Copies of this chain bind each other. A is one copy, B any other.
Amino acid sequence: MPKKVDHEVRRRHIAEALHRVIDRNGLDAVSLREVAAEAGVSMGMVQHYFATKDEMLMFALEHLNARVGLRIAAARNRDSPRELVRAAVLELLPLDDERRTEARIALAYLARSVVAADLADLLRAALPHVIGFYAEQIRIAQGDGQVPANLDPEREATILFALVQGLVNPALIGHYTPEAVVAAVDYHLDRLFPCGNP
């Protein structure tokens, strides 16, 4: 019996090669040829799994999101909404090599999304989940008296999400140290959850 090829594993293998290329040189440099070389497979193999560069980019983004999502899910056993939000937020910030790489790749996708409608659709579909999660935790904490009742959970979630996204580039280009990034997040969370420290 011939060995069964696990197509999902192959696709993920190619997606990870794609992300190493993006991390090294940005999205400009991405070609099927370069990804095939990085993955150690033929161009025909890449084309077998991905008809176009955009299809490959979309799959790889979903793979990246799933990976970050798993880490956020693993942080679910926190003591308070504040700690849960904090853990989820810090997974998106370039605080170590793994998250730096992910943040560089995510930024490349963000820039491309404003000229690639498919990618914009994918990102737009994901935003309500992330922002909604923050809003939900803020509402829960308000119910427990950990967040001031006069704060608007939706607006606060919008602001928190934007704040986190906006810290990525200055951190990546070395304007902020990882410690300064965490301090800015904690400063803002102190305001949002003044009674939410465990």
The residues of A with any CB-CB pair to B shorter than 8 Å are 24-28, 104, 107-108, 110-116, 120, 123-124, 127, 152, 155, 158-159, 161-167, 169-170, 172-176, 180, 183-184, 187-188, 191
Contact = CB atoms under 8 A, between A and B. Distances in A.
Given A159-B184, A184-B155, A173 B113 contact: yes
Given A27-B28, A155-B184, 10 more contacts: A26-B115, A27-B111, A28-B28, A107-B114, A114-B169, A124-B175, A159-B187, A161-B166, A161-B170, A162-B162
Contacts of A191: 191
Say whether chain A's binding surface is mostly helix, strand, loop, or mixed.
helix
A16 B188 CA distance: 39
A134 to B, nearest CB: 13
Q: How many copies does the complex hold?
A: 2
A131 B104 CA distance: 22
A184 B191 CA distance: 16
Contacts of A158: 176, 180, 184
B152 A187 contact: yes
Contact of A162 (B24, B155, B163): B163
B169 A28 contact: no
A161 to B, nearest CB: 7
Contact of A113 (B110, B152, B164, B169): B169
A187 B180 CA distance: 25
A138 B163 CA distance: 18
Contact of A110 (B28, B111, B152): B111
Contacts of A166: 161-167
Contacts of A27: 28, 111
7 contacts: A26-B116, A123-B169, A152-B187, A159-B184, A161-B170, A164-B166, A166-B166
